A and B are shown apart, each in its own frame.
Chain A
Amino acid sequence: MAKEAAYVPNILRQGRWVPWLYLGPALILMSIFILYPGLNTLYLSFRNQNGSDWAYTTCLAGQPCWGIFENYRYALTSSIMRTAFGNNLKWILFMVSGTVLLGLLIATLADRVRYEALAKAIIFMPMAISFVGAGVIWKFVYDYGSSQVQIGLLNALITSLGGRPVSWLTEPQINTLALIVVGIWMWTGFCMTVLSAAIKGVPAELLEAARVDGANEWTVFWQIRVPLILPTIAVVITTMIINVLKIFDIVYVMTGGNYGTEVIANRLYIEMYTSYNTGRAAAIAMVLTVIIIPAIIFNIRRFRAQEAMR
């Protein structure tokens, strides 16, 4: 047995250094563009606003201080960051469920119509628009004119039905949800496309067998189709969670994180480029990375499992 395990086919006998030769370019590029910036960010997260001294020097007398972890105290406990965490949680809850459920619904329905390609192209179209463009479009939809004239689509509808106009983007209870709707509008196409491919991968005979067995369409969907595409649904969910944790553009363009709509990535941007506080920005970046890692690990595992099944 031991002998067999040591057996290497001729084609793989390449000497000790040849594999490194193949790996070299990738390793060098990864080191320059990922490893070094990563380690440097970690280092900067323990430094002050411009990296000239350790973070504890920024502690103020009489205020709580976490010493060298001072930037993490800000990243984890400051009120603006707590708002950001809360909002990111909302984004995860509503946008992930919204995009996945809508994507699944549309993919299922589109599978049954003749003009499927057209329907899917339309749903997918927002993906092709830049976030900034989408932000501008939706600013018009949500526009709130202080005078009597409402040029915003939503408020125009509401006032024409006799309702009172709503300031969608500044009203604290609804503005984050309004932003999430934009996110759902943009990302449903992605979920739909991936789920649609999975749905088409379910053999038609299985669904027919279930129908002959006595299942109605509802049962076929929940007891046959969904269980069979569950691995794909899981990957779509984790991919969306990663996307949503990183959400930035929509918030930056539409509210700039004001009126209680702050999210982690936007705060990171503001600390870095508005407040010029690299220490805090680096700490937020590290926190965000740590939060995202489990989702990435899950996705990689899932991917490997699928590869292994082939």
Chain B
Amino acid sequence: MASVTFEHVTKRFGDFVAVNDLNLHIEDREFLVLVGPSGCGKTTTLRCLAGLEDVTEGIIKIGDTVVNDVPPKDRDIAMVFQSYALYPHMTVFDNMAFGLKLRKVPKEEIKRRVEEAAQILGIENLLKRKPRELSGGQRQRVAVGRAIVREPKVFLFDEPLSNLDAKLRVQTRAELSKLHQRLQTTFVYVTHDQMEAMTMATRIAVMNKGVLQQLDTPQNLYDRPANLFVAGFIGSPSMNFFPAHIRKDGSDLYVDADSFKVKIPEQRAKPYYNYAGREVIFGIRPEDIHNPQFAPPGIHAEPVEARVDVIELMGNEIFLYLVNGRHNFVARVDPRTRFKVGEQVQVVFNMDNFHIFDPAVDRENPVAVR
């Protein structure tokens, strides 16, 4: 059990900056998920923490110890690899016992720990098998088992679910959460899947192009994304963005996207008065766009006309791909909605939940204004 600290960590491969001035403090017993698109530096960050890569600049601490020059074997960490990396020539038991044998743990103790871990993971009956005789899900369990028998200070996971089928992934997600509660140890988990991040993490670190974008709880990331990248990355389908201007009419503020205009409710208008007349990006999540017939009562509903382009029936909900002027956007509406493709319809935006991003500072990744 230990905290993990990155202080001004930079990792370069030649000219390529994989991780750029990362500052991150992971609390003891936290389940921290590093998430981002491929190539964002999340796996490099994890590998630096594991000691499999040397950092170019900055320091990494596990607990209070600086581990920059400590080899992986002495960092007291365990890692679950994307490919599981089970030793193909060893049985499941030997795979799990390998690290303990190297640490000269007594034989009975090894047996006890391996059997206990196997029991937690439900793989007691597989201990004598070789990895090639196991299914993908079983291999994944063995890889986790190999990590937990070591009883390390920090667990590292590198996309451990990406080779499982969708159903097993959902199931294993829950099991990993349970395991975290049970072991009460620091977990650092890398994934490109924002669903995994949202469901398991105590806190999420969103990365892009080597830069930490936002570090927050799943709910805060979803409700209050710090910038356009985070807003677009978290949530599926992702948030709709409209280039727009803020307009002032009397004491009322409007978002004017040329082909539609929506009023900003009074209690949320305050931060945007200074933006009157300025160019912004208006963001709204698909679930905050409703069929007026089924819109929840009491919301600040603003009507918008749109043409239905594509309809995707999901059973419990419907995704509408809508067109308004030059804007394309997605709405996630009540399954009782009976719209037809090509039909001109009216939807409502729930203006209690919208986001405004200011492109003035960083055009590539406008920051949220609230």
Complex formed: what's the CA distance from A219 to B51 in Å?
18
B72 and A211 within 8 A (CB): yes
B85 / chain A contacts, CB cutoff of 8 Å: 203, 205-206, 208-209
Complex formed: what's the CA distance from A227 to B156 in Å?
27
Contact of B102 (CB < 8 Å), options: A205, A206, A208, A219: A219
Among B25-33, B58-66, B75-83, the stretch in contact with A: B75-83
A216 at the interface (CB under 8 A from B): yes
A228 and B98 within 8 A (CB): no
Per-position binary interface string of chain A over residues 194-227, scored 1 when its CB falls under 8 Å from any chain B CB and 0 otherwise: 0000000001011011111111100100011001
A213, A224, A228 — which one has the most chain B CB atoms within 10 A of its CB? A213
A210, A214, A216, A227 — which one has the most chain B CB atoms within 10 A of its CB? A214
A213 and B88 within 8 A (CB): no
Task: Across the interface, name the chain A residue whose C-beta is closest to B90.
Answer: A227
Task: Across the interface, name the chain A residue whose C-beta is closest to B75.
Answer: A212
Given A206-B85, A224-B87, is A213 in contact with B98 using a C-beta cutoff of 8 Å? yes
A216 / chain B contacts, CB cutoff of 8 Å: 73
Complex formed: what's the CA distance from A253 to B103 in Å?
55
A208 / chain B contacts, CB cutoff of 8 Å: 50, 52, 72, 79, 81, 85
Task: Across the interface, name the chain B residue whose C-beta is closest to A228.
Answer: B89
- Could you tell me the distance in whole angstroms from the C-beta of B34 to the nearest C-beta in chain A? 17
- Could you tell me the distance in whole angstroms from the C-beta of A15 to the nearest C-beta in chain B? 41
Given A203-B83, A206-B87, is A212 in contact with B98 using a C-beta cutoff of 8 Å? no
Contact of B99 (CB < 8 Å), options: A203, A206, A213, A227: A213
Complex formed: what's the CA distance from A223 to B99 in Å?
12
Task: Across the interface, name the chain A residue whose C-beta is closest to B83.
Answer: A205
Give the interface size bracket for A toward B.
10 to 19
A215 / chain B contacts, CB cutoff of 8 Å: 73, 98, 102
> Which residues 210-257 of A have a CB within 8 angstroms of B?
210-216, 219, 223-224, 227-228, 230
Task: Across the interface, name the chain B residue whose C-beta is closest to A208.
Answer: B52
- Could you tell me the distance in whole angstroms from the C-beta of A155 to the nearest C-beta in chain B? 47
B81 / chain A contacts, CB cutoff of 8 Å: 205, 208-209
A212 and B72 within 8 A (CB): yes
B146 at the interface (CB under 8 A from A): yes
B71 at the interface (CB under 8 A from A): yes
B150 at the interface (CB under 8 A from A): yes
- Could you tell me the distance in whole angstroms from the C-beta of B54 to the nearest C-beta in chain A? 13
Task: Across the interface, name the chain B residue whose C-beta is closest to A213.
Answer: B99
- Could you tell me the distance in whole angstroms from the C-beta of A250 to the nearest C-beta in chain B? 37
B150 and A213 within 8 A (CB): yes
Contact of B78 (CB < 8 Å), options: A203, A212, A230: A212
B86 / chain A contacts, CB cutoff of 8 Å: 209
- Could you tell me the distance in whole angstroms from the C-beta of B74 to the nearest C-beta in chain A? 8
A227 and B83 within 8 A (CB): no
Complex formed: what's the CA distance from A206 to B156 in Å?
15
B89 and A211 within 8 A (CB): no
Complex formed: what's the CA distance from A99 to B199 in Å?
56
Chain B contact residues: over half helix, strand or loop, or mixed? loop
Complex formed: what's the CA distance from A6 to B145 in Å?
47
B73 and A213 within 8 A (CB): yes
Complex formed: what's the CA distance from A223 to B98 in Å?
10
Contact of B89 (CB < 8 Å), options: A203, A209, A214, A227: A227
Task: Across the interface, name the chain A residue whose C-beta is closest to B156.
Answer: A212
- Could you tell me the distance in whole angstroms from the C-beta of B56 to the nearest C-beta in chain A? 18
B83 / chain A contacts, CB cutoff of 8 Å: 203, 205
Complex formed: what's the CA distance from A133 to B83 in Å?
49
Complex formed: what's the CA distance from A205 to B81 in Å?
7
Task: Across the interface, name the chain B residue whose C-beta is closest to A219.
Answer: B102
B99 and A214 within 8 A (CB): yes
Contact of B79 (CB < 8 Å), options: A212, A219, A227: A212
B102 and A212 within 8 A (CB): no
B98 / chain A contacts, CB cutoff of 8 Å: 210, 213, 215, 223
Complex formed: what's the CA distance from A215 to B97 in Å?
12
Task: Across the interface, name the chain B residue whose C-beta is closest to A226.
Answer: B89
- Could you tell me the distance in whole angstroms from the C-beta of B104 to the nearest C-beta in chain A? 10
Task: Across the interface, name the chain B residue whose C-beta is closest to A220.
Answer: B73
Complex formed: what's the CA distance from A219 to B99 in Å?
11
Complex formed: what's the CA distance from A227 to B88 in Å?
9
B77 / chain A contacts, CB cutoff of 8 Å: 212
A209 / chain B contacts, CB cutoff of 8 Å: 79, 81, 85-87, 146
Complex formed: what's the CA distance from A213 to B90 in Å?
14
B73 / chain A contacts, CB cutoff of 8 Å: 211-216
B88 / chain A contacts, CB cutoff of 8 Å: 206, 228
- Could you tell me the distance in whole angstroms from the C-beta of B172 to the nearest C-beta in chain A? 19
A212 and B87 within 8 A (CB): no
Give me 16 A-to-B residue pairs in the complex whose CB atoms sit less than 8 angstroms apart, sorted by A's number. A203-B85, A205-B81, A205-B82, A205-B83, A205-B85, A206-B85, A206-B87, A208-B72, A209-B81, A211-B51, A212-B73, A215-B102, A216-B73, A219-B102, A223-B98, A230-B89
Known: A209-B81, A212-B78, A213-B102. 10 other contacts (CB 8 A): A208-B52, A208-B81, A209-B86, A209-B146, A211-B73, A213-B99, A214-B99, A215-B98, A216-B73, A219-B102
